[in-house]
A and B are shown apart, each in its own frame.
Chain A
Amino acid sequence: MAGVLTITTMIAGFLLGYVYRSTAEARDKASSDKLVGAISQVVSGFDNDPVSSKTTVTAGSSQITIYPATHDGRLIGCAAESSSDNGFSGKITIVAGFDPDGNILGYEVTSHAETPGLGAKMNDWFRGTGSRSVIGRNPSSRPLKVSKDGGEVDGITAATISSRAFLEALNIASEGAMTYFRQSTENK
Protein backbone atom coordinates (compact mmCIF):
# COMPACT_ATOMS: atom_id res chain seq x y z
CA MET A 1 0.00 0.00 0.00
CA ALA A 2 2.64 2.49 1.10
CA GLY A 3 4.82 1.07 -1.67
CA VAL A 4 2.31 1.95 -4.37
CA LEU A 5 1.98 5.48 -3.03
CA THR A 6 5.76 5.89 -2.83
CA ILE A 7 6.25 4.62 -6.38
CA THR A 8 3.49 6.89 -7.71
CA THR A 9 4.94 10.01 -6.09
CA MET A 10 8.43 9.03 -7.24
CA ILE A 11 7.35 8.65 -10.86
CA ALA A 12 5.46 11.94 -10.61
CA GLY A 13 8.50 13.63 -9.09
CA PHE A 14 10.88 12.42 -11.77
CA LEU A 15 8.46 13.40 -14.53
CA LEU A 16 8.00 16.89 -13.11
CA GLY A 17 11.73 17.34 -12.57
CA TYR A 18 12.45 16.28 -16.13
CA VAL A 19 9.89 18.60 -17.71
CA TYR A 20 10.89 21.43 -15.37
CA ARG A 21 14.50 21.18 -16.50
CA SER A 22 13.76 20.70 -20.17
CA THR A 23 11.39 23.69 -20.31
CA ALA A 24 13.50 25.96 -18.07
CA GLU A 25 15.21 27.64 -20.99
CA ALA A 26 11.98 28.22 -22.91
CA ARG A 27 10.25 29.55 -19.80
CA ASP A 28 13.08 32.00 -19.05
CA LYS A 29 13.06 33.11 -22.65
CA ALA A 30 9.28 33.62 -22.59
CA SER A 31 9.48 35.83 -19.52
CA SER A 32 12.42 37.88 -20.81
CA ASP A 33 10.72 38.24 -24.22
CA LYS A 34 7.73 39.59 -22.39
CA LEU A 35 9.88 42.15 -20.57
CA VAL A 36 11.65 43.25 -23.75
CA GLY A 37 8.27 43.42 -25.51
CA ALA A 38 6.83 45.53 -22.73
CA ILE A 39 9.83 47.89 -22.74
CA SER A 40 9.64 48.49 -26.48
CA GLN A 41 5.90 49.08 -26.10
CA VAL A 42 6.37 51.84 -23.55
CA VAL A 43 9.44 53.65 -24.91
CA SER A 44 10.25 53.72 -28.59
CA GLY A 45 13.10 54.86 -30.76
CA PHE A 46 15.97 53.53 -28.66
CA ASP A 47 18.97 51.77 -30.18
CA ASN A 48 20.59 50.32 -27.04
CA ASP A 49 19.74 47.21 -25.08
CA PRO A 50 17.75 48.53 -22.09
CA VAL A 51 17.75 45.17 -20.29
CA SER A 52 21.53 44.79 -20.15
CA SER A 53 22.00 48.39 -18.95
CA LYS A 54 19.34 48.15 -16.27
CA THR A 55 19.90 49.74 -12.89
CA THR A 56 17.93 50.14 -9.67
CA VAL A 57 17.00 53.30 -7.82
CA THR A 58 15.24 53.84 -4.51
CA ALA A 59 11.89 55.62 -4.64
CA GLY A 60 10.26 56.06 -1.26
CA SER A 61 10.43 52.66 0.38
CA SER A 62 10.72 50.56 -2.75
CA GLN A 63 13.43 49.55 -5.17
CA ILE A 64 12.55 50.40 -8.77
CA THR A 65 14.24 48.75 -11.73
CA ILE A 66 15.06 51.25 -14.46
CA TYR A 67 15.70 50.29 -18.07
CA PRO A 68 17.41 53.31 -19.71
CA ALA A 69 16.60 54.01 -23.35
CA THR A 70 19.24 55.88 -25.36
CA HIS A 71 19.58 56.88 -28.98
CA ASP A 72 23.10 57.60 -30.28
CA GLY A 73 24.24 57.64 -26.66
CA ARG A 74 21.75 60.38 -25.72
CA LEU A 75 19.20 59.54 -23.02
CA ILE A 76 15.72 59.70 -24.57
CA GLY A 77 13.77 58.21 -21.70
CA CYS A 78 13.50 55.13 -19.59
CA ALA A 79 11.17 52.30 -18.69
CA ALA A 80 10.53 51.76 -14.98
CA GLU A 81 9.23 48.52 -13.51
CA SER A 82 7.24 49.00 -10.33
CA SER A 83 4.45 47.32 -8.43
CA SER A 84 1.70 47.88 -5.92
CA ASP A 85 0.51 45.40 -3.33
CA ASN A 86 -2.82 47.14 -2.93
CA GLY A 87 -4.64 45.53 -5.83
CA PHE A 88 -8.04 43.94 -5.34
CA SER A 89 -6.38 40.52 -5.34
CA GLY A 90 -2.75 41.17 -4.59
CA LYS A 91 0.21 42.47 -6.48
CA ILE A 92 0.07 44.47 -9.70
CA THR A 93 3.32 44.87 -11.63
CA ILE A 94 3.67 47.42 -14.40
CA VAL A 95 6.34 48.71 -16.75
CA ALA A 96 5.93 52.38 -17.57
CA GLY A 97 7.87 54.54 -19.99
CA PHE A 98 8.83 58.16 -19.28
CA ASP A 99 10.54 60.84 -21.34
CA PRO A 100 13.29 62.88 -19.61
CA ASP A 101 10.69 65.48 -18.51
CA GLY A 102 8.72 62.79 -16.70
CA ASN A 103 5.78 62.60 -19.11
CA ILE A 104 4.24 59.13 -19.40
CA LEU A 105 4.96 57.67 -22.83
CA GLY A 106 3.16 54.37 -22.29
CA TYR A 107 2.60 51.56 -19.88
CA GLU A 108 2.15 47.81 -19.84
CA VAL A 109 0.70 45.72 -17.01
CA THR A 110 3.03 42.73 -16.78
CA SER A 111 1.38 40.75 -14.00
CA HIS A 112 -1.77 41.01 -11.92
CA ALA A 113 -4.54 38.86 -10.49
CA GLU A 114 -7.44 41.31 -10.77
CA THR A 115 -11.01 40.25 -11.52
CA PRO A 116 -11.49 39.35 -15.19
CA GLY A 117 -13.91 41.82 -16.79
CA LEU A 118 -13.33 44.43 -14.08
CA GLY A 119 -9.89 45.30 -12.73
CA ALA A 120 -8.28 43.20 -15.45
CA LYS A 121 -9.34 45.86 -17.96
CA MET A 122 -6.59 48.18 -16.69
CA ASN A 123 -4.19 47.21 -19.47
CA ASP A 124 -6.53 48.87 -22.00
CA TRP A 125 -8.59 51.25 -19.90
CA PHE A 126 -5.89 53.79 -19.06
CA ARG A 127 -4.95 54.18 -22.73
CA GLY A 128 -8.54 55.10 -23.55
CA THR A 129 -9.94 58.44 -24.59
CA GLY A 130 -10.34 61.65 -22.57
CA SER A 131 -9.84 61.59 -18.83
CA ARG A 132 -9.36 57.81 -18.73
CA SER A 133 -5.97 58.11 -20.35
CA VAL A 134 -2.73 58.46 -18.39
CA ILE A 135 -0.58 58.79 -21.52
CA GLY A 136 1.13 62.19 -21.68
CA ARG A 137 0.37 63.00 -18.05
CA ASN A 138 3.19 63.94 -15.72
CA PRO A 139 2.91 62.38 -12.24
CA SER A 140 6.17 64.00 -11.06
CA SER A 141 4.55 67.41 -10.64
CA ARG A 142 1.39 66.02 -9.05
CA PRO A 143 0.78 62.31 -8.29
CA LEU A 144 -2.08 60.84 -10.29
CA LYS A 145 -5.33 60.07 -8.48
CA VAL A 146 -8.68 58.67 -9.58
CA SER A 147 -11.50 61.21 -9.92
CA LYS A 148 -13.28 59.65 -6.95
CA ASP A 149 -10.36 60.75 -4.74
CA GLY A 150 -10.35 64.23 -6.26
CA GLY A 151 -7.84 63.44 -8.99
CA GLU A 152 -8.07 63.82 -12.73
CA VAL A 153 -7.99 60.22 -14.00
CA ASP A 154 -11.27 58.37 -14.52
CA GLY A 155 -10.90 54.99 -12.82
CA ILE A 156 -12.32 51.73 -14.18
CA THR A 157 -16.07 51.54 -13.54
CA ALA A 158 -16.70 49.37 -10.46
CA ALA A 159 -12.99 48.68 -9.99
CA THR A 160 -11.78 51.68 -8.01
CA ILE A 161 -9.46 49.58 -5.83
CA SER A 162 -7.68 48.18 -8.87
CA SER A 163 -7.51 51.66 -10.41
CA ARG A 164 -6.02 53.15 -7.24
CA ALA A 165 -3.40 50.39 -7.06
CA PHE A 166 -2.54 50.85 -10.73
CA LEU A 167 -2.04 54.60 -10.27
CA GLU A 168 -0.03 53.96 -7.13
CA ALA A 169 2.36 51.74 -9.09
CA LEU A 170 2.50 54.36 -11.83
CA ASN A 171 3.32 57.15 -9.35
CA ILE A 172 6.09 55.04 -7.79
CA ALA A 173 7.46 54.31 -11.27
CA SER A 174 7.46 58.02 -12.02
CA GLU A 175 9.30 58.76 -8.78
CA GLY A 176 11.89 56.13 -9.69
CA ALA A 177 12.27 57.48 -13.23
CA MET A 178 12.73 61.07 -11.98
CA THR A 179 15.33 59.93 -9.44
CA TYR A 180 17.16 58.14 -12.23
CA PHE A 181 17.05 61.17 -14.55
CA ARG A 182 18.38 63.43 -11.74
CA GLN A 183 21.19 60.99 -10.97
CA SER A 184 22.22 60.66 -14.61
CA THR A 185 22.41 64.45 -15.14
CA GLU A 186 24.42 64.87 -11.93
CA ASN A 187 26.90 62.26 -13.11
CA LYS A 188 27.58 64.09 -16.35
Chain B
Amino acid sequence: MNFFKTIYHSAVLENPTFVLLLGMCPTLGTTSSAINGMSMGLATTGVLICSNAAISGIKNLVPDKVRIPVYIVVIATFVTLLQMLLQAYAPALNDSLGIFIPLIVVNCILLGRAEAFASRHNVASSVADGIGSGLGFTVARTLLGACRELLGSGSIASLSIYPESWGALLFILAPGAFIMLGFLIAIYRYLQAKSTKKHSA
Protein backbone atom coordinates (compact mmCIF):
# COMPACT_ATOMS: atom_id res chain seq x y z
CA MET B 1 0.00 0.00 0.00
CA ASN B 2 1.41 3.37 -0.87
CA PHE B 3 1.63 6.31 1.50
CA PHE B 4 -1.46 8.29 0.48
CA LYS B 5 -3.63 5.24 0.03
CA THR B 6 -2.80 4.26 3.61
CA ILE B 7 -3.75 7.72 4.85
CA TYR B 8 -7.07 7.54 2.98
CA HIS B 9 -7.72 4.02 4.21
CA SER B 10 -7.05 4.92 7.87
CA ALA B 11 -8.87 8.24 7.80
CA VAL B 12 -11.98 7.39 5.78
CA LEU B 13 -12.56 3.65 5.37
CA GLU B 14 -11.44 2.89 8.91
CA ASN B 15 -12.27 6.20 10.54
CA PRO B 16 -11.48 5.66 14.25
CA THR B 17 -14.56 7.52 15.48
CA PHE B 18 -17.26 6.65 12.94
CA VAL B 19 -16.22 3.16 11.81
CA LEU B 20 -13.95 1.57 14.44
CA LEU B 21 -15.65 3.40 17.35
CA LEU B 22 -12.31 3.73 19.14
CA GLY B 23 -11.41 6.42 21.66
CA MET B 24 -15.01 7.14 22.61
CA CYS B 25 -14.18 8.59 26.03
CA PRO B 26 -12.30 11.70 24.83
CA THR B 27 -14.65 11.88 21.84
CA LEU B 28 -17.65 12.28 24.11
CA GLY B 29 -15.91 14.14 26.90
CA THR B 30 -14.01 16.92 25.15
CA THR B 31 -16.17 17.92 22.19
CA SER B 32 -18.41 20.54 23.78
CA SER B 33 -17.02 23.06 21.30
CA ALA B 34 -15.39 22.89 17.88
CA ILE B 35 -12.08 24.33 19.12
CA ASN B 36 -11.86 21.87 22.03
CA GLY B 37 -12.59 19.03 19.62
CA MET B 38 -9.94 20.11 17.17
CA SER B 39 -7.08 20.90 19.55
CA MET B 40 -7.42 17.62 21.41
CA GLY B 41 -7.58 15.82 18.04
CA LEU B 42 -4.37 17.47 16.86
CA ALA B 43 -2.56 16.68 20.12
CA THR B 44 -3.60 13.04 19.77
CA THR B 45 -2.49 13.02 16.11
CA GLY B 46 0.97 14.24 17.09
CA VAL B 47 1.41 11.51 19.68
CA LEU B 48 -0.07 8.88 17.36
CA ILE B 49 2.38 9.64 14.54
CA CYS B 50 5.38 9.49 16.93
CA SER B 51 4.23 6.34 18.74
CA ASN B 52 3.36 4.54 15.49
CA ALA B 53 6.78 5.36 14.05
CA ALA B 54 8.64 4.29 17.20
CA ILE B 55 6.68 1.08 17.67
CA SER B 56 7.07 0.10 14.04
CA GLY B 57 10.80 0.80 14.34
CA ILE B 58 11.30 -1.48 17.36
CA LYS B 59 8.76 -4.18 16.45
CA ASN B 60 11.38 -6.82 15.62
CA LEU B 61 13.28 -6.28 18.88
CA VAL B 62 10.30 -6.69 21.17
CA PRO B 63 9.28 -10.22 22.22
CA ASP B 64 5.57 -10.93 21.83
CA LYS B 65 4.92 -11.46 25.53
CA VAL B 66 6.00 -8.00 26.64
CA ARG B 67 4.84 -6.02 23.62
CA ILE B 68 1.82 -4.41 25.33
CA PRO B 69 3.82 -3.00 28.30
CA VAL B 70 6.50 -1.78 25.89
CA TYR B 71 3.87 -0.04 23.71
CA ILE B 72 2.33 1.58 26.77
CA VAL B 73 5.73 2.86 27.92
CA VAL B 74 6.40 4.30 24.44
CA ILE B 75 2.99 5.98 24.26
CA ALA B 76 3.18 7.33 27.82
CA THR B 77 6.64 8.75 27.14
CA PHE B 78 5.46 10.67 24.09
CA VAL B 79 2.39 11.99 25.92
CA THR B 80 4.49 13.20 28.85
CA LEU B 81 6.98 14.83 26.47
CA LEU B 82 4.09 16.56 24.70
CA GLN B 83 2.73 17.83 27.99
CA MET B 84 6.07 19.20 29.15
CA LEU B 85 6.62 20.94 25.82
CA LEU B 86 3.11 22.45 25.89
CA GLN B 87 3.62 23.66 29.47
CA ALA B 88 6.86 25.31 28.44
CA TYR B 89 6.03 26.79 25.05
CA ALA B 90 2.21 26.90 24.74
CA PRO B 91 0.89 27.40 28.29
CA ALA B 92 -2.48 28.76 27.07
CA LEU B 93 -3.17 25.65 25.01
CA ASN B 94 -2.05 23.46 27.90
CA ASP B 95 -4.52 25.21 30.19
CA SER B 96 -7.42 24.79 27.83
CA LEU B 97 -6.76 21.08 27.30
CA GLY B 98 -6.03 20.55 30.99
CA ILE B 99 -6.52 17.05 32.31
CA PHE B 100 -7.18 15.58 28.87
CA ILE B 101 -3.53 15.64 27.76
CA PRO B 102 -2.40 12.94 30.24
CA LEU B 103 -5.52 10.98 29.32
CA ILE B 104 -4.25 10.58 25.73
CA VAL B 105 -2.21 7.68 27.16
CA VAL B 106 -5.34 5.62 27.71
CA ASN B 107 -6.92 6.55 24.38
CA CYS B 108 -7.70 3.22 22.71
CA ILE B 109 -6.79 4.61 19.30
CA LEU B 110 -3.10 4.73 20.17
CA LEU B 111 -2.78 1.21 21.49
CA GLY B 112 -5.26 -0.01 18.89
CA ARG B 113 -3.24 1.35 15.97
CA ALA B 114 0.03 0.16 17.56
CA GLU B 115 -1.30 -3.36 17.86
CA ALA B 116 -3.33 -3.57 14.65
CA PHE B 117 -1.07 -1.62 12.31
CA ALA B 118 2.32 -0.38 13.48
CA SER B 119 3.46 -3.76 14.80
CA ARG B 120 2.88 -5.30 11.36
CA HIS B 121 4.00 -2.64 8.90
CA ASN B 122 7.13 -0.66 8.12
CA VAL B 123 7.88 2.78 9.53
CA ALA B 124 6.67 4.78 6.51
CA SER B 125 3.27 3.06 6.35
CA SER B 126 2.92 3.37 10.11
CA VAL B 127 3.52 7.10 9.93
CA ALA B 128 0.93 7.28 7.13
CA ASP B 129 -1.50 5.34 9.30
CA GLY B 130 -0.79 7.72 12.20
CA ILE B 131 -1.51 10.74 10.01
CA GLY B 132 -4.64 9.14 8.57
CA SER B 133 -6.13 7.89 11.85
CA GLY B 134 -5.19 11.13 13.59
CA LEU B 135 -6.79 13.32 10.92
CA GLY B 136 -9.87 11.11 10.77
CA PHE B 137 -10.18 11.41 14.54
CA THR B 138 -9.58 15.18 14.47
CA VAL B 139 -12.11 15.87 11.69
CA ALA B 140 -14.74 13.67 13.36
CA ARG B 141 -14.22 15.42 16.70
CA THR B 142 -14.28 18.89 15.17
CA LEU B 143 -17.55 18.04 13.39
CA LEU B 144 -19.09 16.63 16.55
CA GLY B 145 -17.87 19.63 18.56
CA ALA B 146 -19.23 22.10 15.99
CA CYS B 147 -22.68 20.44 15.94
CA ARG B 148 -22.87 20.34 19.73
CA GLU B 149 -21.67 23.91 20.09
CA LEU B 150 -24.15 25.14 17.46
CA LEU B 151 -27.15 23.41 19.02
CA GLY B 152 -26.06 23.96 22.62
CA SER B 153 -24.69 27.48 22.76
CA GLY B 154 -25.58 28.96 19.39
CA SER B 155 -22.08 29.44 18.08
CA ILE B 156 -19.39 27.70 16.04
CA ALA B 157 -15.75 28.14 17.10
CA SER B 158 -16.95 30.87 19.52
CA LEU B 159 -18.52 32.87 16.65
CA SER B 160 -22.08 33.57 17.68
CA ILE B 161 -24.73 32.38 15.19
CA TYR B 162 -27.85 32.92 17.28
CA PRO B 163 -28.48 34.03 20.91
CA GLU B 164 -27.07 31.64 23.48
CA SER B 165 -30.30 31.52 25.47
CA TRP B 166 -32.05 29.73 22.57
CA GLY B 167 -29.57 26.87 22.67
CA ALA B 168 -30.48 23.46 24.07
CA LEU B 169 -28.15 22.92 27.01
CA LEU B 170 -28.57 19.17 26.56
CA PHE B 171 -26.10 19.19 23.68
CA ILE B 172 -23.31 20.68 25.81
CA LEU B 173 -23.85 17.96 28.44
CA ALA B 174 -22.94 14.28 28.12
CA PRO B 175 -26.31 12.96 26.86
CA GLY B 176 -26.16 15.42 23.96
CA ALA B 177 -22.76 14.00 23.03
CA PHE B 178 -24.19 10.48 22.77
CA ILE B 179 -27.22 11.64 20.76
CA MET B 180 -25.15 13.73 18.36
CA LEU B 181 -22.53 11.01 17.91
CA GLY B 182 -25.30 8.53 17.08
CA PHE B 183 -26.71 10.80 14.39
CA LEU B 184 -23.29 11.49 12.89
CA ILE B 185 -22.40 7.78 12.77
CA ALA B 186 -25.74 7.07 11.07
CA ILE B 187 -25.10 9.77 8.45
CA TYR B 188 -21.54 8.53 7.90
CA ARG B 189 -22.66 4.94 7.44
CA TYR B 190 -25.43 6.02 5.07
CA LEU B 191 -23.02 7.97 2.89
CA GLN B 192 -20.50 5.14 3.00
CA ALA B 193 -23.11 2.56 1.95
CA LYS B 194 -24.26 4.81 -0.86
CA SER B 195 -20.74 5.27 -2.23
CA THR B 196 -19.97 1.53 -2.10
CA LYS B 197 -23.16 0.83 -4.05
CA LYS B 198 -22.16 3.35 -6.68
CA HIS B 199 -18.72 1.73 -6.99
CA SER B 200 -20.06 -1.80 -7.38
CA ALA B 201 -22.78 -0.77 -9.85
Contact = CB atoms under 8 A, between A and B. Distances in A.
Contact of A31 (B33, B91, B149, B152): B91
Given A30-B91, A157-B169, A23 B84 contact: yes
B36 interface: yes
Interface in A4-54: 4-5, 8-9, 12, 15-16, 19-20, 23, 26-27, 30-31, 33-34
A31 B86 CA distance: 12
Nearest to B32: A117
A167 to B, nearest CB: 21
Contact of A5 (B70, B85, B88, B149): B70
Interface residues of B, number: 33
B95 A30 contact: no
Nearest to B85: A23
Contact of A12 (B65, B74, B152): B74
Interface in B80-121: 80-81, 84-85, 87-89, 91, 95, 98-99
Given A8-B73, A116-B33, A117-B152, A19 B62 contact: no
Interface residues of A, number: 26
A-B pairs with lowest CB-CB distance, top 3: A26-B88, A117-B32, A23-B88
Interface of B: 30, 32-33, 36, 58, 61-63, 65-66, 69-70, 73-74, 76-77, 80-81, 84-85, 87-89, 91, 95, 98-99, 149, 152-153, 169, 172-173
21 contacts: A4-B61, A4-B62, A4-B63, A4-B66, A5-B69, A5-B70, A8-B73, A12-B76, A16-B77, A16-B81, A26-B88, A30-B88, A30-B89, A30-B91, A31-B87, A33-B91, A34-B91, A117-B33, A117-B152, A117-B153, A157-B169
Given A117-B149, A118-B32, 15 more contacts: A5-B70, A8-B70, A8-B74, A12-B73, A16-B77, A16-B81, A19-B81, A23-B89, A27-B88, A30-B89, A30-B91, A115-B32, A116-B32, A117-B33, A158-B169
